[in-house]
Amino acid sequence: MWTALSDESVANGVSDGVTHRITCHIERVLRERQMTLTELSHRTGITMANLSILKNNRAKAIRFTTLTLICDVLDTTPGELFGIEPSDGQRAL
């Protein structure tokens, strides 16, 4: 049985009473690739402001085209770039 979620629940990341937070590991990946955020910006054409929003985990969404550009330049996958930080008492993914 499906349960409808309110817009507020979706906005707060609440699903079935469980809160998750997607985190961006772009800073770690950049460090591993010995690349700066500025260089990534130049190579992808994505603004520093938008990359900073991702890096600081303030993004609410990302377009597939943007994600693909970042992954191509960093030679990585979305799974390496993002993770889920679980709420208290849950196992990390």
Q: Is 67 helix (H, G, I), strand (E, B) or coil?
A: helix
**Residue 44, both tokens:** 């992808």
pLDDT tens profile 44-79: 999 999 999 999 999 999 999 999 999 999 999 999
The answer to whether 18 and 84 have CB atoms below 8 angstroms apart is: no
Sheet of strand 18-24: strand arrangement: 14-15, 18-24, 82-86
pLDDT tens profile 2-13: 334 344 444 444
Q: What are phi and psi of 15, to 5 degrees?
A: -140, 120
Domain ranges of the chain: 20-86
CATH topology classification for 20-86 = 434 Repressor (Amino-terminal Domain) (1.10.260)
16 pLDDT higher than 70: no
Burial of 80 from C-beta contacts in 10 A (0-12 / 13-18 / 19+): middle
Task: Evaluate if pTM is beyond 0.95.
Answer: no
